[in-house]
């Protein structure tokens, strides 16, 4: 390797945009919340569980008997949050509390807007502060407040009375990604419009993007290899589900591609062909974006497109090794 690589680092968010199916019990609970009503469920021993659960915690029997409970109750235990975090339900100090609603035999977790820690006590009475607009989510309860607090504000009627069967439950993880030496050098080459991999000194496999070592031999890889724009489709998938934030409209093809001279595939888009014509062994070529748009990213290549060359037999894809002799 020549000069030491500049460290490349950037913020990164990993997201899973789940939609969760609620099942009939949680679905009924959320449907009731949207109508600003609290329902628990009767357990095998006659106790009312809140929030309702699908199965009896002792006998494991399926439960189905809903019971109306009050929207006020007693704080059984609590803790004060002095410095709320971004994901918390309030940006002011508040209490997490286990609240046993009148008519229920088990307490449920929610938050209390008491204004001050001194206003909180075990055994205090609290009531629901309903959200102005309800959507069939736990946040339809905009916290609990001490029972004496007068609640103002207009409550809009629920927008729908359809039974709730699913809820959006996305998960996001935001962190800082630091490229590391090998990836940083690779990205710097990408910025110059070059595909540069690394060769293992032992098995002579060429990796792109390089990781700085050979996963098979466990040795550092330092020899750099500049590769061309042509590649072979090793495998592919047709994506039919839209990905939030992705400007490409489905259906489109994502393929595992092995560049000529490389031995391991990477993922990229395939375009300028009918999705149904894509096949393993197909020959393709990188289409680079205009140079002015190049950054430290694989996206400098807009996509790969088919070229008029014979297919590569499946058992030969990525198998060519330069013995260096």
Give the binding site for Zn ion (CB under 5 A): 200, 202-203, 214, 216-217
d(CA 100, CA 106): 6
CA distances from 309 to 147, 234, 306 (A): 77, 15, 9
- Nearest approach, Cβ of residue 204 and Zn ion (Å): 7
Compare residues 74 and 217 and give the one whose CB is closer to Zn ion: 217
Compare residues 261 and 306 and give the one whose CB is closer to Zn ion: 261
- Nearest approach, Cβ of residue 195 and Zn ion (Å): 20
Compare residues 214 and 317 and give the one whose CB is closer to Zn ion: 214
Measured from the Cβ of residue 246, the count of other Cβ atoms closer than 10 Å reads 10
Q: Which of 52, 109, 48 is nearest to 75 (CA)?
A: 109
Burial annotation 282-317 (CB, 10 A radius, 16+ → b, else e) = bbbbbeeeeeeebebeeebbebbebeeeeebeeeeb
- Nearest approach, Cβ of residue 230 and Zn ion (Å): 24
Compare residues 122 and 202 and give the one whose CB is closer to Zn ion: 202
- Nearest approach, Cβ of residue 215 and Zn ion (Å): 8
Length of the chain: 325
Classified as helix, coil or strand, 1 is coil
d(CA 215, CA 203): 11
d(CA 43, CA 64): 9
- Nearest approach, Cβ of residue 19 and Zn ion (Å): 43
For residue 260, what is the DSSP state? T
Compare residues 134 and 205 and give the one whose CB is closer to Zn ion: 205
- Nearest approach, Cβ of residue 196 and Zn ion (Å): 18
**Residue with the two structure tokens 């680092």:** 9
- Nearest approach, Cβ of residue 220 and Zn ion (Å): 10
Q: Provide the terminal-to-terminal Cα distance of the chain, rounded to the nearest Å.
A: 21
Q: Which of 96, 168, 110, 98 is nearest to 138 (CA)?
A: 110
Compare residues 95 and 200 and give the one whose CB is closer to Zn ion: 200
Compare residues 200 and 253 and give the one whose CB is closer to Zn ion: 200
E strand or H helix at 235: strand 230-239
Whether residue 140 contacts residue 134, with contact meaning beta carbons closer than 8 Å, is answered with yes
CA distances from 174 to 7, 15, 16, 22, 171 (A): 20, 8, 12, 27, 10
- Nearest approach, Cβ of residue 18 and Zn ion (Å): 38
Compare residues 131 and 214 and give the one whose CB is closer to Zn ion: 214
């Amino acid at each position: 390797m020549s000069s030491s690589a500049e460290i490349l680092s950037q913020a990164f968010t990993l997201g899973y945009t789940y939609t969760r199916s609620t099942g009939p019990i949680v679905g009924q609970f959320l449907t009731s919340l949207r109508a600003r009503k609290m329902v628990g469920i009767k357990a095998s021993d006659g106790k009312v569980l809140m929030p309702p659960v699908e199965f009896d915690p002792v006998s494991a029997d399926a439960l189905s008997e809903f019971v109306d409970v009050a929207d006020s109750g007693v704080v059984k235990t609590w803790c004060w949050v002095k410095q709320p975090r971004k994901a918390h339900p309030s940006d002011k100090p508040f209490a997490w509390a286990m609240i046993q609603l009148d008519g229920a035999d088990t307490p449920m977790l929610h938050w209390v807007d008491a204004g001050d820690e001194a206003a909180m006590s075990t055994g205090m009475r609290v009531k629901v502060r309903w959200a102005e607009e309800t959507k069939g989510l736990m946040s339809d309860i905009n916290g609990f407040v001490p029972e004496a607090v007068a609640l103002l504000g207009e409550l809009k009627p629920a927008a729908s009375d359809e039974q709730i069967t699913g809820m959006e439950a996305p998960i996001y993880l935001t962190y800082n990604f630091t490229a590391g030496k090998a990836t940083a050098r690779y990205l710097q080459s990408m910025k110059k419009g070059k595909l540069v991999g690394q060769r293992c000194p032992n098995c002579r496999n060429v990796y792109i993007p390089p990781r700085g070592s050979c996963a098979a031999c466990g040795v550092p890889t330092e020899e750099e290899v500049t590769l061309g724009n042509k590649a072979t489709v090793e495998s592919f998938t047709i994506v039919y589900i839209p990905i939030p934030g992705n400007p490409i409209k489905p259906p489109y093809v994502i393929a595992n591609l092995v560049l000529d001279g490389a031995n391991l595939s990477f993922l990229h888009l395939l375009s300028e062909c009918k999705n149904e014509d894509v096949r393993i062994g197909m020959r393709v070529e990188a289409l680079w974006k205009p140079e002015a748009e190049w950054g430290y990213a694989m996206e400098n290549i807009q996509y790969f497109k088919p070229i008029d060359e014979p297919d590569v037999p499946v058992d030969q894809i990525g198998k060519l090794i330069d013995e260096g002799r």
